[in-house]
Amino acid sequence: MSPIARLALAGALVAAPAAAWAHHGWSSYNEAEPVTLSGPLKDVVWGNPHGTAKMNWQDKEWDVVLAPVTRMTARGLTLEEIDKGQRVTLTGYVRRDGTPEMRIERIKVGDKTVELR
């Protein structure tokens, strides 16, 4: 292995645990107090590592953390169901530090409920 390849590999090995920890830091959400709210999602991003959206709630624009696209699709949720401004009901957890962000556990669209975690 060339010295450059070794250096790249070493950098990846050092960065991977930090990136995984930062991305999966679910302890920053208050799981003791689930919230349920309804309204239209805005700016839906159907992408990886997980979907995201925005929603107005409590006079703020909130970032909504959805599940990975493969999980949402496997459980029967499609982008078309949530991306047209129709009303959805979300159940999830808000961040402990007051950042207007919520991690969604469940989404209801019409009569259909999809578990995201």
Share of the chain above pLDDT 70, in %: 79
Residues 76-111: tens digit of each pLDDT: 999 999 998 889 999 999 999 999 999 999 999 999
Question: What range does the domain containing 66 cover?
Answer: 29-115
Does some domain include residue 85? yes
In Å, the largest CA–CA distance within the chain is 58
* Position 82 in a domain: yes
Q: Which pLDDT does position 24 carry in this prediction? A: 52
Residue 39 in any domain: the answer is yes
3 burial type by CB count under 10 A (0-12 exposed, 13-18 middle, 19+ buried) = exposed
pTM confidence score: 0.75
Tell me if 36 is assigned to some domain: yes
**Number of domains forming the structure of the chain:** 1
19: confidence class by pLDDT, cuts 50, 70, 90: very low
Position 26 scores a pLDDT of 77
When pLDDT is averaged across residues 23-42 and rounded to a whole number, the result is 87
Domain-located, residue 98: yes
Question: What is the reported pLDDT for 113?
Answer: 97
CATH classification of the domain holding 68: 2.40.50.140
